[in-house]
Structure 1
Amino acid sequence: MIQLFFSATQYAAATVTAALRAGQFGPRAAHRRILVVSNTAPVPEVGTPLDRMAGFEKLRPEFDEVRSWNEFISPHHPAGWSPRAQDTRLWEKAVRLAWDLGDEPVEIACESIQANPSRAVADIFADSPVHVYADGLMSYGPTRNRIPLPLSSRIVRVLHLDLVPGLRPMLLSEYGVEPEPVPNEAITAVLAELGEDGADILAERLPADDPPTAVLLGQYLSAIDLITQDEEEHLHLRMLRAAARAGHRSVLFKPHPSAPAVYNRSLETAADELGVRLSVLSDPVLAETVFARLRPKLVIGCFSTGLMTAAAFYGIPVARVGTDLLLERITPYENSNRVPLTVIDAALPDAERDQVGEPLELAGLADRLAPLVRAVGYCMQARKHHRLRDETAAWLTAHLAEYPQYFKRRRLTSLRLPGGSPVRAQALRRNPTVRRVVRRVRAARS
């Protein structure tokens, strides 16, 4: 059996490696394993491919070969190219010939199955089983797009990180796909290996005698049009002030790799005014390396997955800033970031208002979050999760007053759920769907 593992980021490759070492893809001797790397950045030619990044040599022994999807489909872009339906068999023959796969059976492990290159590969190998893996909080939310039956019936499972222990992912659940967590000890061991090079960078950049006690995580939310650049810059300033409010005088800011340098300069000015020593880590070091090596007393962010890895994997206190703004701005309601945002807002203390500095209580957290996440997920994708309607209506009746920030009145109204506005007869008469139904009824009676 040939196993093709598709990864676009170092973190994704680490997740796959952890699953392999945990035995979740069977014995090594029985499989030929090929890691297929892709770069989905807007201009991949100027980026560093995954297999050339520092630390990749720690992952390489788990695979028999490494191939580049960008090189294979060049000059097409991996995020925008997929084969025409009538050409998939030709492309399968081309892949088998180029990578010397022969006629051996193939199974695929890939990330987001709704988007390319995962969708393209699944279409090319139209008879192969597919394993979907997710390395972030989005696995707890519903599937973004409809998956056609020929593909959904081939999906074996969803491998995910157990960031909220016991919380069941909604991803692909409407197709009966079962989730399977990657053991925490397996992923933390892989991240520790990857972090060995990053530890040297931290040692060079930060004072050994007085390391930062708080870490701020940047996300570059303006790049995905959730807020403006000015608002995101202000969000980082709020994080810094919250850290100072909590008593931290040595702070590390880890910006998003694509964030503009102006963010750093405005933070440095604010740090001087607050009497805080600020270090900015622009080097390509995993957030988990920072957590493991520095063991900060507090991590502050907006709704980064790194907040939950700090809490779940390393037991570090975490806090949020700005989720109220994002909950108000995020559109459309189906936006895949809504569930990660909801989880962080509901689970973590507010760094600007609450007492912070205590480890997150993970025991019982899934029981508290599960009904809320299912209700939000139903409102996002009601047609796919119609079985959750009665549960959602009952939960909203009992708890909407406690959690109004996660639901929009317009969405509740359109779904005829508790908390929505009354539907007026005049509005019903103008509704195109209602008018069509009325015409059909009248035609049937005549």
Structure 2
Amino acid sequence: MSTPDSADRSRTGTGPRPRPVQIFQASTLYGAATLAAALDAGQFGPAAQARRVLLLTNNAAVPEVAPRLSDMTGFQEIAARFDQVEDWNEAIAPHHPAGWQPRPDDAPLWERVLRTRWALGTGAVTLVVESIQVSPARSLAAVFAGAAVHVYADGLMSYGPTRDEPPHSVAVRVQRLLHLDLVPGLRPLLLSEFGVEPELVPHDAFRAVLSELSLAAAGDPEPARAAEAAPTALLLGQYLAALDILTAEEEEHLHVRMLRAAAAAGHRSVAFKPHPTAPDRYSEALQREAATAGVRLTTLGGTLLAEVFYARLPLELVVGCFSTAMLTAAAYYGIPTARVGTRTVLHQLTPYENSNRVPLVIVDHVVPDLEAGATPQRPEAPPTLQPLLQAVGYCMQSARYPWLRTGAEQLLARVTADPGADRDGAHAAYFGTERLTELDLPGGRKRRAPLVRQVLSRGRRETASRH
């Protein structure tokens, strides 16, 4: 960890102006790579203009046993772009970063403590954070109450609505939303209710950072071991059981379905990239299925990003449920993708406002279904996707996006008027009768007029009194 030079320390009198500070919060290597690409593209100005601090956060339920970002291959290459690296978990210990927020009266004290601890001096602070609506980003914004805020997104959730509204005092400080062009041409909905404009992280800049991570893994034995098996398909695990989206048994079966579908498509050597914290039993179940199907299975260990394997294996197919890495494979490596179990998870997802709904809808809408025999391909966003996501976003957060109602009504009215327009039940899966009824939208159950409801209610009461 580097130490600020004397020019960065607080001054009194008529000395040089304090140097501005940019704090970049990251909880994943993929997110840190997104930040590195934005820096390389000049989206935060010249390096000499401000002191740059990479702030690591570990939001796992039990951070002490989760893989550390700083231990991952390629981290040092990314960290070299920053003047210093700090750890948020250590700074606020024993509090958990996902649950802790400073009391309003304590926020100024915390700012003084952190400025001293990290030797930031008295310069103006700019925050670059993930998920501003929740901690730790929300806590950072509360501590540095005068800081301009930039939000960056490293996944598909940015195309959906804001899950939890940030305090107005924070929302008005958000300058922009930086995001990757994972679905070319698609515009994020996140934070749009506050007038926040999205800004693309250049494709070439992110691809260059991914190449850098791949080069950093040149001495890692895991890609070399995997390459010996020459897998032509890679299966992506997400550990959805940890998010209570599926049970462990359901997720285990989902991976088995992926393997069966890949085998049915003709792939005889398949790799499986489990989530780093997923249980070993997932790999064991796949090994048994692979033996039955006559498929050679290679389980990829370690904490390397899936993108490292995209660059180093002769892949013809990437299979997943709704992982962001599916879209990365297509957008940055040109590898055809296919989905398995996406509709199953979509039907089970609760509550309707769950932010995973938007990634599921995107993947279901643009990625071919491998189990249905569809040909894997590089997904492209059809013209129908933007209005579809706006309609889904309205149904998820209707009070926050009232201006999207008209578009939602028009889209749903067209589907309702044409029984053949929803042959595969996609719109039924995307919206659900209960939610459409609740919002009084086309496709919901017809509600009785108030007078009819009153008469029926009075009749039921009279009948009950006679008995």
What's the TM-score once normalised by structure 2's chain length? 0.88
Selected match of 2:255 from 231, 236, 244: 236
Q: Give the distance between the partners of 2:67 and 2:284, measured in 1 at CA.
A: 26
TM-superposed CA distance for 1:260, in Å, is 1.2
Selected match of 1:205 from 199, 218, 225: 225
Matching residue of 1:412: 436
Matching residue of 1:92: 111
- The one-letter code of the counterpart of 2:312 is R
Work out whether 1:386 is the aligned partner of 2:402: yes
Work out whether 1:360 is the aligned partner of 2:373: no
Matching residue of 2:370: 351
- Answer yes or no: is the 8 Å Cα contact 2:161–2:191 preserved in 1: yes
- The one-letter code of the counterpart of 1:399 is V
- The one-letter code of the counterpart of 2:106 is D
TM-superposed CA distance for 1:212, in Å, is 0.2
TM-superposed CA distance for 1:207, in Å, is 4.7
Mean CA deviation greater in 373-382 or 145-154: 145-154
Q: How do residues 31-70 of structure 1 correspond to structure 2 at under 5 angstroms?
A: 31-70=50-89
Output the aligned Cα RMSD: 1.6
Matching residue of 2:36: 17
Q: Give the distance between the partners of 1:76 and 1:121, measured in 2 at CA.
A: 14
The Cα offsets for residues 216-274 of structure 1, whole Å up to 9 and x where unpaired, read as 00111111111111111111111001001110000001111121111111111111111
Per the alignment, in what secondary structure is the counterpart of residue 383 of structure 2? helix
- The one-letter code of the counterpart of 1:396 is L
Moved over 4 A (4+): 426-430
TM-superposed CA distance for 1:302, in Å, is 0.5
Q: Give the distance between the partners of 1:175 and 1:214, measured in 2 at CA.
A: 42
Selected match of 2:392 from 376, 384, 387: 376
Q: Give the distance between the partners of 2:153 and 2:227, measured in 1 at CA.
A: 35
Selected match of 1:149 from 150, 168, 174: 168
Q: Give the distance between the partners of 1:420 and 1:287, measured in 2 at CA.
A: 41
Q: Give the distance between the partners of 2:249 and 2:382, measured in 1 at CA.
A: 35
- Answer yes or no: is the 8 Å Cα contact 1:165–1:366 preserved in 2: no
Matching residue of 1:219: 238
- The one-letter code of the counterpart of 2:394 is Y
Matching residue of 1:316: 335
Q: Cα gap change, 1:429/1:124 in structure 2, threshold over 3 Å: closer, same or farther?
A: farther
Q: Any stretches of 5+ residues in structure 2 without a counterpart?
A: 1-19, 455-467
Matching residue of 2:464: none
Q: Give the distance between the partners of 1:189 and 1:246, measured in 2 at CA.
A: 32
Q: How do residues 125-136 of structure 1 correspond to structure 2 at under 5 angstroms?
A: 125-136=144-155
Per the alignment, in what secondary structure is the counterpart of residue 11 of structure 1? helix
The Cα offsets for residues 327-355 of structure 1, whole Å up to 9 and x where unpaired, read as 11000100000000000000011001133
Selected match of 2:200 from 176, 181, 185: 181
Selected match of 1:4 from 5, 23, 33: 23
TM-superposed CA distance for 1:148, in Å, is 2.1
Q: Give the distance between the partners of 1:235 and 1:410, measured in 2 at CA.
A: 27
- Give the paired residue count: 426
Q: Cα gap change, 1:429/1:128 in structure 2, threshold over 3 Å: closer, same or farther?
A: farther
Per the alignment, in what secondary structure is the counterpart of residue 62 of structure 1? coil
Mean CA deviation greater in 287-296 or 308-317: 287-296
Q: Give the distance between the partners of 1:163 and 1:65, measured in 2 at CA.
A: 30
Mean CA deviation greater in 402-411 or 329-338: 402-411
* Identical aligned residues as a percent: 54
- Answer yes or no: is the 8 Å Cα contact 1:198–1:286 preserved in 2: no
- Answer yes or no: is the 8 Å Cα contact 1:167–1:367 preserved in 2: no
Work out whether 1:292 is the aligned partner of 2:308: no
The Cα offsets for residues 353-405 of structure 1, whole Å up to 9 and x where unpaired, read as 13324x3253xx15231111111001001111100111110111113542222
Q: Cα gap change, 1:420/1:239 in structure 2, threshold over 3 Å: closer, same or farther?
A: same
TM-superposed CA distance for 1:425, in Å, is 3.8
Q: Cα gap change, 1:295/1:383 in structure 2, threshold over 3 Å: closer, same or farther?
A: farther
Matching residue of 1:440: none
Q: Give the distance between the partners of 2:249 and 2:59, measured in 1 at CA.
A: 26
Work out whether 1:307 is the aligned partner of 2:289: no
TM-superposed CA distance for 1:290, in Å, is 1.0
What's the TM-score once normalised by structure 1's chain length? 0.92
Per the alignment, in what secondary structure is the counterpart of residue 151 of structure 2? strand
Q: Give the distance between the partners of 1:219 and 1:128, measured in 2 at CA.
A: 34
TM-superposed CA distance for 1:45, in Å, is 2.1
Matching residue of 1:397: 413
Per the alignment, in what secondary structure is the counterpart of residue 123 of structure 1? helix
Work out whether 1:75 is the aligned partner of 2:94: yes
Matching residue of 2:286: 267
The Cα offsets for residues 170-194 of structure 1, whole Å up to 9 and x where unpaired, read as 0000110000111111112112211
TM-superposed CA distance for 1:198, in Å, is 3.4
- Answer yes or no: is the 8 Å Cα contact 2:226–2:300 preserved in 1: no
Q: Cα gap change, 1:320/1:399 in structure 2, threshold over 3 Å: closer, same or farther?
A: same
